[in-house]
Structure 1
């Protein structure tokens, strides 16, 4: 009986073929393999893969070219059929799809961080940044930081919480996630850890959106972001929101992260200072997606922190968020392996560019379905909310509310806008009912007390 061919060796061959979208010759396959194989042995294994329909062949003899089949498993054809890859990204994928033992062990290289110069070094080209800027502008002009994210927060909570959790292996469906976030109903048959992960994402996203004018690449934001995402998920509760004091490893990788706490802290502070100095929001987003997981500053949850932190500059600049919609988990993981093991950003850049385009299209459709917001209400959103809350919580009757509106408007609103502002506020008060008062952060008991005063029997 013939000895079975080890699966890792077959996967290395299919990965080599995947790097050539027009088909790979046997010579090209030989050159792509990290562990050399005798020509006759390679020919035998190629025949076995063709017979098993894991590869298809066109041409004969020296003209033979090997291709992935059109019905290849998702992980094998993701780069060709879902996310278009550059030649450099394809080469990076070929390398990291080799067996672990065929890849070179490496440690953290601080020069990768030290060598980056904000606004001089760029991971994204000028053309790529301009393309993303064109995609990401939702039309919110001269509005406070976070305005756009607040408009779509209900959809962003579901999309980003589900997709980011999915990339960690979470098995909740999109519907399960929606029911958990909207109604607090955990799905049956799933580990409690999965529900905790999604709810942590919800809290972290709400933190970013609600604090849009305060967040940034600083310790306050990133440490608290980790605390929210890691809540009740770490073996050591004291490690939540704290830089790493322990040695960690990366499953399926030859990369060995830093081990000395003092160096981790130094690099973390340098990473934040570098990110904060970057002017372009898309370059900022991608920089943190590269450098934060590479440093592994926390005991765990590093990738989750990087994905949400990538949204910080987008939220602040009122750009469409990055929700990682439809990003293949295997491809994202391998893209990070390329960063870890080769400091090669090309595959992750391909994923980032495609993912942002996908997200921007998603939220353009969401915005279209919502219609354009009233620019006057948008401009005076904060004072309108504060006045409404004051009227409801006091509580005020119609006469007192009118007097309060006139007094506050005279103090806070431009003269030419005061009459319209009062009209808008009074319209809001007249339209309040049981289904819409919570947007003013008023409790049911407070609303009931106000309604009794507003509409006395």
Structure 2
């Protein structure tokens, strides 16, 4: 059989499946065909047949069965047209397992069996023993993500590239939700508060919520830990002004929800949801490897759907917590195709299979690292004195602004605390004056200042 050409293999597999209107497993197809194919090769060919509309697939995991397509129901023509229309769509490189998931979730909803939350999916994972990301892959990601700030306090690298990260992550994560802001419009909104023409308040609020949430994580590394309080805080910040009921910001949902475009039905019972939320976050906190921890959060937070909305956004920002704490390159999701991400999440929802999402995650992280290579190389060494007096620096600047004092040495001396060592006071004073000189509405939040505080000080 080694001389059989790929197209002949496809035809042979399709013919086998056509003889089984009741459905047939992949193993049975392979055995009946007589082909000498590895499991991945077989899955890849079956995925191609699904995309071509020659067969259809039902079931999940080991219960997947393949069925012939009836010529009289129009499904073949519709599937072929769908494949043709999506041939040029942006996508990420996909593994054989990912291709099979993609083929399944691209079927019309009425061909996919409705499913509910399966606790077995969570129970199969054991922190410190299980791994969605193989060891070799994690080692490769660690090598990619190392930063010049590796030996500095948690959050140093993210703070060093904060201006770039605010724009990239706010824009890319919002795009995955269908936001139509361009990257340039996002930069203008974040840096100058300039709302893009033709954009509604919902899209603008989504961008600004991302900005505030990223700043929360980067400026408060001691708070940015994987815990229930932190995840709830992320939701409160990301959903601010976007929920139908404002009281549901930062609160576990108390009603059933549905997933658009999916046949998955999440947990509806509030008490059960609270319990599972605690288990998911607790398991994530036990995971030691930052990449495995990030990916676990991207899988299980959206799968649980603990909030009425904004769950995927919460998972993407939560995934950056271990990268910020370990001074690794952050995950900005820059250039991730929306359809690839949606397909991958539906694969988790309906099949409990993580292969396509893992393909997206790895490609996205590699892309993020490429984006920040130039930034890493251009970073100046961190100011050790600034790191040592970081909290005091913010307190002094806030005191000067709120007191309406001018940006000069006398003002600094008037509020200078005793905790500043005598030999550091001159350098510290110049640092404060430099920060005050460059203070504006876009960066004043770093020191806990509101726009009104700044406006009064400017006057």
Deviation for aligned residue 1:27: 12
Cα-to-partner distance string for 1:219-269 (whole Å, 9 max, x where unaligned): 211111111111111111211111111111111211111111111001000
Q: Distance in 1 between matches of 2:235 and 2:399?
A: 37
Partner of residue 73, structure 1? 88
Partner of residue 264, structure 1? 273
Tell me which of 291, 295, 309 is aligned to 1:286: 295
Partner of residue 11, structure 2? none
Partner of residue 346, structure 1? 355
Q: Distance in 1 between matches of 2:78 and 2:350?
A: 32
Q: Residues 380 and 103 (structure 1 numbering): CA distance in 2 closer, same or farther, change over 3 Å? A: same
Say if 1:278 and 1:284, in contact at 8 Å, map to a contact too. yes
Partner of residue 150, structure 1? 159
Partner of residue 376, structure 1? 384
Q: Distance in 1 between matches of 2:267 and 2:51?
A: 39
Q: Distance in 2 between matches of 1:399 and 1:354?
A: 52
TM-score, length of structure 1 as denominator length:
0.77
Counterpart mapping for 1:25-64 below 5 A:
30=54, 33-34=57-58, 36-37=67-68
Deviation for aligned residue 1:203: 1.4
Partner of residue 173, structure 1? 182
Q: How big is the alpha-carbon RMSD for the aligned residues of Structure 1 and Structure 2?
A: 3.6
Q: Residues 87 and 382 (structure 1 numbering): CA distance in 2 closer, same or farther, change over 3 Å? A: same
Counterpart mapping for 1:108-123 below 5 A:
108-123=117-132
Q: Distance in 1 between matches of 2:354 and 2:363?
A: 14
Q: Distance in 1 between matches of 2:394 and 2:205?
A: 33
Partner of residue 361, structure 1? 370
Cα-to-partner distance string for 1:1-54 (whole Å, 9 max, x where unaligned): xxxxxxxxxxxxxxxx9x859995799974665574469889x958995xx896
Q: Residues 39 and 407 (structure 1 numbering): CA distance in 2 closer, same or farther, change over 3 Å? A: closer
Matched, 1:316 2:328: no
Q: Distance in 2 between matches of 1:188 and 1:305?
A: 27
Please give the secondary structure, in 2, of the residue aligned with 1:74. coil
Q: Distance in 2 between matches of 1:111 and 1:377?
A: 51
Q: Distance in 2 between matches of 1:333 and 1:260?
A: 26
Say if 2:400 and 2:412, in contact at 8 Å, map to a contact too. no
Q: Distance in 2 between matches of 1:53 and 1:297?
A: 33
Q: Residues 91 and 328 (structure 1 numbering): CA distance in 2 closer, same or farther, change over 3 Å? A: same
Q: Distance in 2 between matches of 1:214 and 1:23?
A: 45
Q: Residues 171 and 106 (structure 1 numbering): CA distance in 2 closer, same or farther, change over 3 Å? A: same
Cα-to-partner distance string for 1:151-210 (whole Å, 9 max, x where unaligned): 111111111111111000111111111122222222222221111111111111111112
Q: Provide the aligned length of Structure 1 versus Structure 2.
A: 400
Deviation for aligned residue 1:358: 0.8
Q: Residues 409 and 27 (structure 1 numbering): CA distance in 2 closer, same or farther, change over 3 Å? A: closer
Q: Residues 445 and 84 (structure 1 numbering): CA distance in 2 closer, same or farther, change over 3 Å? A: closer
Partner of residue 254, structure 1? 263
Deviation for aligned residue 1:119: 0.9
TM-score, length of structure 2 as denominator length:
0.76
Counterpart mapping for 1:385-424 below 5 A:
385=393, 389=397, 392=400, 408-410=419-421, 419=423, 421-422=424-425, 424=427
Q: Distance in 2 between matches of 1:278 and 1:323?
A: 22
Deviation for aligned residue 1:426: 4.7
Which one is further off, 397-406 or 426-435? Answer: 397-406
Q: Residues 255 and 113 (structure 1 numbering): CA distance in 2 closer, same or farther, change over 3 Å? A: same
